[in-house]
Amino acid sequence: MFDLSHLPPATRDKHAPSAIGIMADIMLRLPAIPPETIPGTPPTPAAELPAHWTIPGTELRMERLTTGPWAGSYAFTAETLERLPEFHAEIIGQPLLHPTISENWRAMQQRFAGPLLARLPLADLPAPLPALVLGTPLWKTLPALGLLAGVGGIALALALAAQSTVETLFGGISIFADRPFRVGDTIQGGSVSGTVEAVGPRSSRIRGADGTLTTVPNSDLAKMHITNMSARSGFLFRHTIRLGGEATRAQAEWLLAALRERVAVEPRVTQEPPPRVRLIGFGEASLDLEVFAKVPVATQAEFLDVQEGLILEIMRAVETGGLRLAMAPQPIASQPAEAPATAH
């Protein structure tokens, strides 16, 4: 959503939630964006997507990422991120154009105390304490500055707990805004992989292949590079066939032609990119062929079905051509030497 590459890694986690709160205030005061003006809205071909896009009537500029895990997606530029406080100051006094539970999300972020501090009389704090210091209320910085000497340790723990709650909350907002995955998708990120069973405001539940259910805070998911297996456009069939070394040139040429013909007529194999069957070299005791094809199916189960059928067809063609598949050499068990005869 935002290009944070120009910021030090240690400060990105602080800037991202702040930017989300400011951007929410801005977007809630802008007219609805006509769908046909948004890049990527059908029927706009992906090849015609612009490198940059500016939200109509604003200076909020986005650029299309060309590298990294989010390549092809749009993110607000570093310049836009730096000017967000300026844009926010200009528009925050204007009326809301879209219903929301808060008229000022950024102010709510700054005042947010978390459930552990919810009962404290924050509204009655002395005048200097609610004042902002580098975008943070002074009362939140007191523990870190050591100004609460008597209860500094407890206050610091409470402040950190509140910060964690805010990060989790806005991590959820980020996930709902970016939609990197949906319920039912199979994802992989960090040490977590499986099928998404639920996406909540604070955490998401992911069911692993072994049936284990893992609950992950959204703030952690928002920091991960998520791979969405369910969003893939297909699977790759790529196998090396090792023929016995006694195969002749004529037999190899016949098998290449037979496999090319078979793969070309397989209805569940795409012709773009075109499938290929190639002789790729000599093994230790084999003649090696490679079969490559893209299978445009959505699930692993469908791909396994296609893969099984293609492997059986390959085996049938090898047998029809009077060839055999080379097997890995088996180690020969050593035999104990006979004991020498003993003279009597």
**Structure-token pair, residue 131:** 């004042």
Tell me how far apart the alpha carbons of residues 4 and 18 are, in angstroms, rounded to a whole number.
12
CA 126 to chain centre: 45
pTM for the whole structure? 0.42
The correct answer on CATH 3.30.70.100 for the domain covering 235-320 is yes
Which regions of the chain does DSSP assign to beta strands (E)?
52-54, 61-64, 74-76, 132-133, 136-137, 186-189, 192-199, 203-207, 213-217, 227-228, 235-244, 276-282, 286-295
The correct answer on CATH 3.40.50.1820 for the domain covering 179-231 is no
Contact 7, 19 (CB under 8 A): no
pLDDT per residue of the chain (344 residues) written in tens, 0 to 9: 666 766 666 666 666 777 887 888 888 888 887 777 777 666 656 557 788 888 888 888 888 887 776 677 778 888 888 888 888 888 888 888 887 777 777 776 666 544 444 445 555 555 555 555 445 555 455 554 444 444 444 444 444 444 454 455 455 555 555 667 788 888 888 888 899 998 877 788 999 989 989 998 877 877 788 888 787 788 999 999 999 988 999 999 999 999 999 998 888 898 888 899 999 999 888 999 999 999 998 888 889 999 999 999 999 999 999 999 987 554 544 444 454 554 44
Where exactly are the structural domains of the chain?
Answer: 9-111, 179-231, 235-320
